[in-house]
Amino acid sequence: MNKYHDTPIKPEDFAYDLIQWHKKNPRPMPWLETKDPYQIWISEIILQQTRVAQGWAYYQRFIQRFPTIHTLYAADETEIIKYWEGLGYYARIRNIIKTANVIVGQYNGHFPKTYDDLLKLPGIGPYTAAAIAGFAFEVPTPVLDGNVLRVVSRLLAIETPSQNQKTKQQIYHFLHQAIQKTLPSSFNQALMNYGALVCTPSNPNCPTCTFQHRCISLLKNIVASIPAKKIKMEKKERYFHYFVLTDPKQKTTLLSQRNEKDIWRLLFQFPLLEKEDDLSLDMNSIVSALKEMGIEVSSPHLHSVEKHHQLLTHQKIHFHFYDIRTEFHGTKTQTKYFKVNLTEVKSYTLPVILIKFLKSKII
């Protein structure tokens, strides 16, 4: 008799085999040993766009300084953002602050216990809501992250991109049935681990896989093409020209706080000209641009120009850093730029790319 099945595995059989595998292959996740929804929330948000090795150090520092929702709520916003410096994607920390206000203001400091109520909180999407509900409150809601989508897509041989809404619903439906008779925290943990350890993005370990005789992709020999890739949206190209002014006598530079709603809101930066092209500016053009910003320079010397770029989710930003040695002062009474001693620049929360640039400089 053929030991391979060409009908999809039943959700309850999948759950049973997965949990058995998990018992034999535990993978301790220190931040998931707690049942505290606050700590689970912070860890999940940090790990959204950060590797575990880097995120873990940030998580520990953050929890040490803000051990409860109340300490976070009472803290100064600038200090909280400082603890996020280097993690990038600052919308995450701004949403953490907003959510802390909601939890303390509306829920008396207690996290809501249902998936739907968690989903209404700022910055908490389906994945994080499911993780908090499952890990903290044992609500039977499956988590859907990239690992999980991949495992189920392969197992059921779903050939549409796993990011499609319909595909997600199909996978969610399967897992929702599977999780019902399990301990949700164990099921979700096992599922995520399976994707990270066995059914990995490339070279999945099919010969040792618990589901090898039930995996339709393996049976059809299409594992390598699943999950199907989504057609990528083109990234928007942007050109940031930063004027890093250094007054060698006074040992000062100029900063401003970003208020634009697109990226890095409330972070600090050097005077910035956003242009439509990647062409470097000469000194005359720089002086004119600075004048437009209300900054007057005398005898400027262009020490160097450095180019970098950074890929964000929907955009690619090209940077020009103009290292300019000059005396400077404001020409307008109301200007958003302020002088900062070179030794104090690092105490401001700056975007990662600016920190990297500074590290290669004297300041």
Using the minimum distance from each CB to ligand SF4, give the nearer residue, 156 or 354.
156
By the criterion CB under 6 A, which residues form the site for ligand SF4?
A: 151, 154-155, 198-199, 204-206, 209, 211-212, 215, 217-218, 223
Nearest distance from C-beta of residue 83 to ligand SF4, angstroms: 38
CB of 151 to ligand SF4, least distance (A): 6
What is the DSSP track for 189-208? HHHHHHHHHTS-SSS--GGG
Residue type, 212: Q
Assigned token pair, 280: 């470097």
Q: Closest CB to ligand SF4 among 155 and 245?
A: 155
Provide, rounded to whole angstroms, the least separation between the CB of residue 150 and ligand SF4: 8
**From the CB of 21, what's the least distance to ligand SF4, in Å?**
10
Residue 166 buriedness (CB in 10 A; 0-12 / 13-18 / 19+): exposed
Q: Residue 185 half-sphere exposure, CB side, CA atoms within 13 Å?
A: 16
Q: Which is nearer to ligand SF4, 215 or 317 (CB)?
A: 215
Alpha-carbon distance values, 225 to 23, 45, 82, 154, 232 (Å) = 30, 30, 42, 9, 16
How far is Cα 115 from Cα 135, in angstroms, rounded to an integer? 12
Buried b (16+ CB within 10 A) or exposed e, 226-256: bbbeeeeeeeeebbbbbbbbbbeeeebbbbe
Ordered DSSP codes for 111-147 = ---SHHHHHTSTT--HHHHHHHHHHHH--------HH
Cα 238 from Cα 240, distance rounded (Å): 7
Sheet of 338-341, strand order: 268-269, 252-257, 338-341
| Catalytic residue IDs | 44
Residue 37 in contact with residue 137, Cβ under 8 Å?
A: yes
CB of 156 to ligand SF4, least distance (A): 10
Q: How far is the CB of 195 from ligand SF4 (least distance, A)?
A: 9
Q: How far is CA 244 from the centre of its chain?
A: 28
3-class SS of residue 258 = coil
CB 56 within 8 A of CB 28: no
